[in-house]
Every structure is written in C-alpha cells, then in structure tokens.
C-alpha cells in the first residue's frame, strides 16, 4: 500500500528518493511521484505506473535539491492516474504533501474549502488536506508546523503525511495517525519513510513516530516531536537490527522464490533461543512474563487477516488440542464491527506479518479498550501492532518483500506451536511424551524444509500441465484444512486463477458439483489422524473424473496410486505438517504464475501491507 520517503540533508535528494521508492515497490502501488525544493520553488513530477516510469518522465527535468518528498500511491479515492498521484500542491502551489491513509471526512472539508474559493485538480482526499493546511496557514498567518497541527485536529481518518513549503528548504513537517512512519537519523541529515526499507542503507538509527504525533524535521537541528495536545514527547532513538542484503533478491529471479527458499534458515532464526538444543524445553519470554494471563484465560481470541488468519486457524487447533483452552479465530475486519463480547480474562492474539494491517490494529485497540490482554505475533520489529500489544513474540523471519506471504506463514505457525507448547507445559495439559515429540519436530523443521524444497523441479514440471486450468479446488482436513485455504489464496493472488479452499468432507455438501476433468483438486492427504477419511474424499473426486494432485507422506502407496500426481512430504508431527506441506503449495503457485507471465512479487491490485480499512 502507499509508500512514503522523504529526505533533508546535504546530499542531492532525488537519487535517494528514487532508490527509496524502488525499495517501497513491494508494498504495491499504481503511481509514483516526487517533489523537490530547488531555489524557491517546489518542483513536482509524478506519473501513473511504476517508479521506472517516473524516472523516465523526470529524466529531462530539474531534479536538483537537497530536500524532497516522494510517494508510491495505491489508489483509494480516484483512479490511478497522473493527476491523482502524489505529491499534491496546495491551491497557490505554496505547499506539497504526500499522504498514506484515508481522510474520512474529506467531502465535508472539501465543501467548506470550495465555499472559500478553493479549487481541486484531483479526486483525492489528500489534496483536500493540503488545501486545508494552506488555508489555515494563510488565514491564521502561522508557521507550517502550527498549520499542520491545526488542520489535523479537523481531520477524521488515518494518515502518515509529509509536507514541504515553497521557499523553505530547511523543514519537513510529518505526522502520523494509524499509519506507520519512521525517521532515520543520519549524519546531519534525516530520512523519513513509511517503513525502514528505504532508510536502512544510510543509517541504523531510527525513531518510530507514535500515533497522533507531529514532527518538525529541520536542517541542522534536532528533531522536535509533539503530540496532538502540543506536549513535547521524548525522541526515542532505536538501533535497527537489519542489513541491506536482507532486502535484495540474492540471485533469485523473484523475492517470492527467494523467500520460499529461505525458510529452512528463517525457521532456525524463529526457534533460536526459544527451544533448547536437546529439544526438551521451550521458553517464550512473552509467555513467561505474563504466565497468569494465559493460565487463567477463559478463552483465546485470535484476530488476523489473510494468510495470518490461516495461520491463526492452525494455532486454534494446537491451542485447543494441547492447552484445552477454547479458541475462536476472527477476521480482524469482521471482529471490529461485530459487537464482540470481550472479557478481561480473555487473551487476544493478534497475528500480522507487517504489524501494520489497519483492521488488525483497530481490532487490537478495541480489545484493549475492553480490558483484554493482547499478545502479538508479528514480523516487522517496531511496527504498530507489537507496540500496541501487552506482550508478544516476533517470528524473526526477516523482511518479507514478495506480496504473497510465504516465510511469514511458516514462521507464524512455528511461533503458534511454540506458544501452545509453552502454555501447555505451564498448565500441565499435555502428555510429556507428546510435548517432547512436538519439540523434536519443531527442532527438525529446518531439515525437513530443506528436504521438501528438493521437490522444486518436480513441481515446476507439473505446473506446466496445470497452468491453463481456470479453477482449482484445494482440500484438507484437520490441521490441513487451513493449509488448503492458504494454498488456494497463494494461487489466486499471484496467478489470478480462481481457487477455493475447502474442508475435504464439506466437498460433498456443494463443491462436488464443480468436479469434472477440467477442475483440478489439490488434496493434502498426509498421514495423520484423518488420513483414511481424506482417502474417501479422493475417491469421490476420482469417481467423477476429477484430476487429483495429492500431497502425501513419503512412502505412501495408497493415495499415490489413486492420485494423478503426488508430491511426497517428509513425515512430521501432524500439528506441524502444514509448515512442511506449505512449501510445495507455495512453489506450485509460484511456477503457475511464472508460466502465465504474472508479476509474482507485485501482483495486480494487491498491497503488501494493507494500511487502510
């Protein structure tokens, strides 16, 4: 979703801004733009399309200046075109703004400004905000900082903004509410961005802006941050623990492929320091520090979206099986508006790779306001959700750049398993032998993932046969049902083929009507407690002429003899089978998308981090 990058310092801003925009491309966008102050004027260049199109457009333009703001836009208000792209000028071209988020009351504000004679070039809510700031600045004859502060008091919605002013090369004003913003502190220079990716190669010192804070970033001066009550807040400088190579493709054609292949290592990072070397104990400090909350929880509510929600469904199985605590898994977007009954003895687990998903963040705030204890399972360190929760566990899988979530999913399920084990041990609700066997499986995950990655060429070849199918069904039962949902989601988001995930036994209640020889079904039929039942479901498909691709446990003869194609998965405890089996499904989606010539890392219409409702 929209990306922000801004710079003020002694270097030329344009190359830094363009590089920063490239780093933000993974978030998903449809237009890009940049504003620079040179001499007295603000020069804005913007265009529909990719950052490369912007570079091409700006080639013959004056891109000088040591201060600038830049943006990638993911359209919400108004179609993706040159005019709606950011930055936006104010009425008199005295200000320029970039904005992530949505101004909900923009129509009312626009009406009021139109009554004052303001005109609008774009369809965006953002232009309304910059006009409002200019109006306040001119009518109150105040400084830019005060004008931004006063305008934001009138605004309802979510935003991260950066504003610059004609004739003022020394200042950028930025602010945030429910949309992330981070400031990098360099050597007499500042970098502003919606996440750390554009900043990381210049400095490891960052300040995360909190909600409802405005920052004055002035050349050669320390940062000044105030909250909406105009109280100065502490500038909390943090050290980044990430390096630039983590943001590059490392020899792979796509980030998605790199991230799929990284999983043996990311799982090592995920369990490091949490499971001891003899695989006999698990320690999560987020649980130890709040042991009573988990032991006394009457219920656990998991909130998440998309892939994280699928991981949550697997977590439900684990927590209910091993901890005997009832768990419900809610879409964060539905949870917010469903009048949820939340008690102070509920534990809410929020799962989010980005830690910035607007719906999940809002659901966290809602649950918190009702007194629940909130535990986060996130990837991006320092992002909004971990900062809004009482406790949590990072999945530590490193930056995930491909829009389709892969290594975050396996990290989330791994953390959920460790969480279930940690609670179960404290509650004494798990048989000790089973506890040891699950820990052993957790510890062996990296090796198993390495092994399953060897299926790559088999899957690549198989994908050629299925590239032109128009629909797919994915079936699984028990722990593998959420994986069926996840497999289908992966395929649809990057290949644009319609795919549905279903609990295998539910097929006969409807979807079986779709089965024919043009509708392939992917069945996750590994050897678990519902294996025999899944075999019956495969027979039902074969009896109707359907094509079956089966994921089977290594050495399986029965399903392999029934299926048209089978992929052998190394054996593992059934609760962790979705981690191992997710890899072939990710590769299958990847190769089909490649065969169809899709943009796998930035599929159409999708954003990596969904920071609007």
Nearer Cβ to ligand M6R, position 131 or 353?
353
Those residues with Cβ within 8 angstroms of residue 528's Cβ, 6 or more apart along the chain or in another chain: 478, 479, 480, 574, 577
By CB under 6 A, tell whether 360 contacts ligand M6R.
Answer: yes
Binding to ligand M6R (CB under 6 A) within 264-283 occurs at: none
Interior angle at CA 552, CA 550 and CA 555, nearest 5: 135
Annotated active-site residue 608? The verdict is yes
Is 270 marked active-site? no
Shortest Cβ 177–ligand M6R spacing (Å): 19
Residue from the set 47, 100, 357, 534 that interacts with ligand M6R by CB under 6 A:
357
Of 507, 610, 611, 612, the one binding ligand M6R (CB under 6 A) is: 610
CB 60 within 8 A of CB 49: no
Q: Which residue is nearest to ligand M6R (CB)?
A: 306
Task: Give me the phi and psi of 56, to 5 degrees please.
Answer: -65, -45
Residues in contact with ligand M6R, shown as a per-residue x/- string from 283 to 312 under the rule CB under 6 A: ----------------------xxxx----
Minimum distance between the CB of residue 116 and ligand M6R, rounded to whole angstroms? Answer: 39
Rounded CA separation 217/222 (Å): 8
Closest contact distance (angstroms) between CB of 310 and ligand M6R is 8
State which residue, 48 or 492, has the beta carbon closest to ligand M6R: 492
Choose between 357 and 534: whose C-beta lies nearer to ligand M6R.
357
**Helix and strand numbers, DSSP H then E, in the chain:** 20, 24
Interface region with ligand M6R, contact rule CB under 6 A, candidates 118-126, 274-282, 350-358, 591-599: 350-358
CB of 185 to ligand M6R, least distance (A): 26
Interface positions, 580-609, toward ligand M6R (CB under 6 A): 606, 609
Q: Are 537 and 505 in contact (CB under 8 A)?
A: yes
Catalytic residue among 2, 378, 417, 575: 2
CA distances from 209 to 58, 414, 510 (A): 31, 30, 50
Report the alpha-carbon distance of residue 99 to residue 88 in Å, rounded: 9
Q: For residues 67 and 397, which CB has a smaller minimum distance to ligand M6R in the complex?
A: 397
Among 63, 72, 353, 444, interactor with ligand M6R by CB under 6 A: 353
Residue among 97 and 361 whose Cβ is closer to ligand M6R = 361
**HEC sequence for 471-534:** EEEEEECHHHHHHHHHHHHHHHHHHCCEEEEEEHHHHHHCHHHHCCCCCCEEEECCCCCCHHHH
Q: Which residues of 539-561 are buried (b: 16+ CB within 10 A; e: fewer)?
A: ebbbeeebbbbbbbbeebeebbe
The least CB distance from residue 590 to ligand M6R, in Å, is 12
Q: Where are the alpha helices (DSSP H) in 243-351?
A: 255-261, 263-271, 285-288, 291-295, 306-323, 332-336
The two three-digit tokens of residue 265, written as one number:
């290592």
Angle between the N-to-C axes of helices 51-58 and 13-24, in degrees from 0 to 180, rounded to the nearest 10: 160
Query: Active site residue: 46, 407, 490, 608, which one?
Result: 608
Cβ distance to ligand M6R smaller for residue 532 or 599? 599
| Total number of residues that touch ligand M6R (CB under 6 A) | 17
Stretch that binds ligand M6R, among 94-102, 104-112, 347-355, 495-503 (CB under 6 A): 347-355
- The phi, psi pair for 94, rounded to 5°, reads -85, -20
Task: For the chain, give the longest Cα–Cα distance.
Answer: 81
- Among residues 407 and 425, whose Cβ is nearest to ligand M6R? 407
Interactions with ligand M6R, residue window 375-404 (CB under 6 A) = 403-404
Binding mask 431-470 for ligand M6R (x = CB under 6 A): ----------------------------------------
Q: Using CB under 6 A as the criterion, what x/- string covers residues 484-523 for binding ligand M6R?
A: -----x---x------------------------------
CB of residue 333 to ligand M6R, shortest distance in Å = 10
Q: What's the closest the beta carbon of residue 610 comes to ligand M6R, in angstroms?
A: 5
DSSP assigned state of 78? S
Place of tokens 């404290």: 426
Q: Is 208:382 a contact under the CB 8 Å cutoff?
A: yes
What is the contact surface with ligand M6R in residues (CB under 6 A)?
305-308, 352-354, 357, 360, 403-405, 489, 493, 606, 609-610
The residues carrying an active-site annotation are: 2, 608
């Amino acid at each position: 979703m929209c990306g922000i990058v801004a710079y003020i310092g002694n270097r030329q801003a344009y190359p830094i801004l363009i590089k920063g925009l490239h780093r933000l491309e993974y978030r998903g966008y449809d237009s890009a733009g940049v504003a620079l102050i040179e001499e007295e004027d603000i020069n804005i260049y913007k265009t529909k399309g990719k950052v490369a199109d912007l570079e091409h457009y700006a080639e013959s333009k004056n891109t000088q200046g040591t201060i600038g703001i830049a943006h990638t836009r993911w359209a919400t208000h108004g179609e993706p075109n040159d005019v709606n792209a950011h930055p936006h000028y104010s009425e008199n071209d005295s200000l320029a703004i970039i904005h992530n988020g949505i101004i909900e009351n923009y129509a009312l504000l626009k009406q009021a400004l139109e009554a004052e004679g303001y005109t609008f070039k774009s369809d965006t809510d953002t232009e309304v905000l910059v006009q409002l700031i200019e109006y306040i600045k001119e009518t109150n004859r105040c400084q830019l900082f005060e004008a931004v502060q006063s305008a934001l008091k009138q605004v309802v919605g979510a935003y991260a903004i950066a504003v610059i002013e004609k004739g003022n090369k020394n200042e950028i004003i930025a602010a945030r509410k429910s949309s992330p913003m981070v400031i990098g502190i360099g050597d007499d220079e500042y970098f502003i961005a919606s996440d750390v990716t554009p900043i990381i190669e210049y400095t490891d010192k960052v300040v995360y802006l909190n909600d409802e804070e405005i920052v004055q970033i002035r050349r050669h001066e320390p940062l000044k941050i105030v909250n909406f009550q105009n109280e100065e807040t502490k500038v909390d400088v943090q050290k980044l623990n990430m390096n630039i190579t983590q943001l590059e493709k490392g020899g792979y054609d796509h980030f998605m492929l790199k991230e799929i292949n990284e999983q043996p290592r990311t799982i090592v990072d995920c369990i490091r320091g949490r499971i001891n070397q003899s695989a006999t104990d698990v320690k999560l400090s987020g649980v130890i520090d709040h042991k009573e909350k988990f032991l006394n929880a009457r219920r656990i509510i998991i909130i998440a979206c998309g892939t994280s929600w699928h991981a949550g469904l697997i977590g439900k199985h684990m927590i209910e099986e091993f901890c005997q605590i009832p768990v419900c898994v809610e879409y964060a977007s539905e949870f917010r508006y469903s009048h949820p009954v939340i008690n102070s003895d509920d534990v809410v687990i929020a799962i989010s790779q980005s830690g910035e998903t607007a719906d999940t963040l809002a659901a966290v705030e809602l649950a918190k306001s009702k007194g629940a204890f909130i535990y986060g399972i996130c990837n991006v360190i320092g992002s909004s959700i971990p900062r809004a929760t009482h406790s949590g566990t990072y999945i530590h899988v490193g930056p995930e750049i491909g829009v389709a979530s892969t290594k975050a999913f396996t990290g989330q399920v791994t953390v959920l398993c460790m969480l279930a084990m940690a609670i179960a041990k404290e509650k004494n609700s798990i048989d000790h032998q089973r506890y040891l066997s699950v820990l052993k499986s957790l510890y062996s995950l990296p090796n198993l993932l390495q092994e399953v990655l060897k299926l790559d060429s088999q899957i690549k070849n198989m994908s050629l046969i299925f590239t032109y199918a128009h629909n797919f069904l994915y079936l699984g039962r028990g722990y593998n049902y959420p994986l069926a949902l996840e497999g289908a989601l992966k395929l649809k988001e990057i290949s644009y083929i319609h795919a549905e995930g279903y609990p295998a036994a539910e097929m006969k209640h409807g979807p079986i009507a779709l089965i024919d020889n043009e509708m392939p079904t992917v069945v996750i039929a590994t050897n678990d407690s519902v294996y025999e039942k899944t075999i019956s479901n495969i027979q039902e498909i074969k009896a109707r002429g359907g094509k079956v691709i089966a994921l089977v446990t290594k050495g399986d003869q029965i399903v392999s003899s029934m299926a048209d194609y089978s992929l052998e998965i190394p054996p593992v405890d059934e609760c962790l089978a979705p981690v191992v089996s997710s890899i072939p499904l990710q590769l299958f989606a990847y190769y089909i998308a490649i065969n169809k010539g899709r943009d796998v890392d930035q599929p159409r219409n999708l954003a990596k981090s969904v920071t609007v409702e």
